[in-house]
Amino acid sequence: MKIFSGLLVAVLLVSGCQTKTPESMNPFFTTYNTPFQTPPFSLIEVKHYMPAFEKGMAEQQEEIQAIVANNDAPSFENTILAYDRSGELLERVSAVFFNIQGTDNNDSIQEIARIITPLLTKHSDNISMNMELFGRVKAVYEQMDEAQLTDAQKRVTEKYYNDFVRNGALLSSEDQEKLKKYNEELAGLQLKFEENQLAETNKNFKLVVDNAEDLAGLPEGVIAGAAETAAANGMEGKWVFTLQKPSLIPFLQYAENRALREKIYRGYFMRGNNDDEFDNKEIARKMAMIRSERVKLLGYETHADYAIAVNMAKTPQNVDEFLMGLWRPALKVAKQELKEMQAIINQEGGNFELQSWDWWYYAEKLRKAKYDLDEAEVIPYFQLENVREGMFWVANQLYGITFTPLNNIEVYNPEAEVFEVKEANGEHIGLLYLDYHPRESKRPGAWQTSFRNAITKDGKKVSPLVSLVCNFTKPTGDTPALLTFDEVSTLFHEFGHGLHALFTDGEYKRTAGVVPMDYVELPSQVMENWAAEPTVLKHYARHYETGEVIPDELIEKIQKSGHFNQGFATVEYLAASLLDLKWHSLNAGDVVENTLDFEKEAMDNIGLIDEIIPRYRSTYFGHIFSSDFYAAGYYVYIWAAVLDSDAFDAFKQSGDIFNKELAQKFRQHCLSECGNDEGMVQYLKFRGQEPSLQPLLEKRGLN
């Protein structure tokens, strides 16, 4: 059944073909004939996406119509389960398309995204505001006890009922139409924001150095990488630095040329704020105001109230109190760090006050002065392949699982690699894709995603296809990819998300592995704790040239410097979290005239010092403006940090950081079955007590 007019025209525009691809030739329309039924990327062409999206939406509409048309009384099986199972084709094409949009974007992919985004938004709204479907869901919800549903069935029924209510099912038809318009407008703005951010990060700024003297202070590996980037851009004999973190951060840390440090940092923090076609100021302002109007229809005062109501924190007031409780000690530490760095400037005869673009440079000097630790001294021990094997080893020690490289699995990009994950007894768990380095087609940051989610269907486990995407330092010449310790921690972090996705167990898509936003980062952040443990470091940290295991002396320096720069790191993060909360505390009718003025007032009100900029300024705050996912939810990283620090403290207190009994409990309650109940309930099943704030404060030196 065709439900969207104009899609055929869209297909022709995007593919450049005269006719649609025959269904028999579209890879999405048949079961993948590949090992583990992985996506056959070599067969998937741009022209296949739109027909697959169109058919996927049509099929799901037919499935919804069949539920609604069923003359039998609403039951869990004919309503909730049938709804949970709907949309399989749409999920399959979406999983490929939107992952490719993040890793290998191009003009054709962007054009499809512009066409399909409003259509998917409309499709979703048509389902969530289908009153006949909601009526059946509501009937099952109201009869859960009488129907003697299992706990798992009750939970998924309750979740779907609340989803419908939160998505406008109880609104009048007039207000539902308003809500649909808001949703459609927001979807378009989010897409444009992300496109602008991608261009501003990867294409629109390059620092070109043509005088070797301007490279003073930079490590050889950084210089070699810049030379390779220049050559790739047709500028042989020069050096090019970009706004991608592996290029930006080392330049800020080591380059002696202060003017160039300022130039590249301004390029970074002015992204989306250059009054050109990629400007995001108006988009951010409009999105925040539209969100406030949207949630008013749903009965909430602010978007923050709406978003946080289903989180562990429950209210924006609780979040604000929590963040400000950390803000005060963190700002105090950051100001002390500033004094110590200014003292270095003064001792060196520098006739200037430290500015934001100086922080990394003088922090590195301070690290060396206080802890006799130069990050450049550590990096040679963190060869990417060794770090990867180290994190695999940690997972093996905790859970007994193994990782085997596979060469018979198609990848979406030649830079990606694939591993099969198995239980200790050899039972297949799933596949893990790894994609490490920046490219112009890849959005910034690091994330975990999936090409297929784990689910138990009709008693049979559907194995997950999990992917970790990063933007780490590239190899240069004969030198392999050598990571900073921050990049090491990021890889362990995303691997934690990956383990969550691999271990997920459950019968229903709506609840299997699904946790509150402020729980999401627990599985990832807890893994970071193992990365710096001496036992773990000795396993994976080996000098890339000599093979020498990292010496105890260097491990001790790393351990002692654990509190280093934590004032800055915590303040820049909290500033962004509080900025997010401020944007989403607007009431309907509130008008933001100027994005930059709004941001400045928010930061002035909390006392942010000029020398520190929020980790994300409004114009490149993709977490909250590229989608709804983290809107009023950027705080979740530090909320989960309380949980992860407390969880790891349990291992430390046991005397064995690989305590298999604790690991099994964590896997069962916090990873595999985490969707079975509320986040804190599941955490308490593992921990047996309320989480303490003390381990986090001690870890960051904020106590």
Q: Which residues are catalytic?
A: 494
- Alpha helices in 511-659, H assignment, sequence order: 522-531, 534-540, 552-560, 566-583, 595-606, 622-625, 636-654
Instruction: Give the CA radius of gyration of the chain.
Output: 26
CA–CA separation, 694 and 300 (whole Å): 34
Task: State the distance between the two ends of the chain, measured CA to CA, in whole angstroms.
Answer: 63
DSSP H or E run through 460: strand 460-462
- Say if strands 239-241 and 207-209 run parallel, antiparallel, or are unpaired: antiparallel
Q: Helix (H, G, I), strand (E, B), or coil: what is residue 422?
A: strand
CA–CA separation, 439 and 270 (whole Å): 21
CA–CA separation, 276 and 285 (whole Å): 16
Instruction: Give me the count of residues in the chain.
Output: 703
Query: Which residue from 579, 571, 691, 700 is spatially nearest to 633, judged by alpha carbons?
Result: 579
- Work out the number of other CB atoms within 10 angstroms of the CB of residue 689: 9
The contacts of residue 77 (CB under 8 Å, 6+ apart) are none
Residue with tokens 């939810």: 633
- b/e string for 604-616 if b means 16 or more Cβ within 10 A? eebebeebbbbbb
- b/e string for 411-433 if b means 16 or more Cβ within 10 A? bbeeebbbbbbbeeeeeebbbbb
Query: Which residue from 620, 568, 567, 577 is spatially nearest to 596, judged by alpha carbons?
Result: 620
CA 234 to chain CA mean position, Å: 33
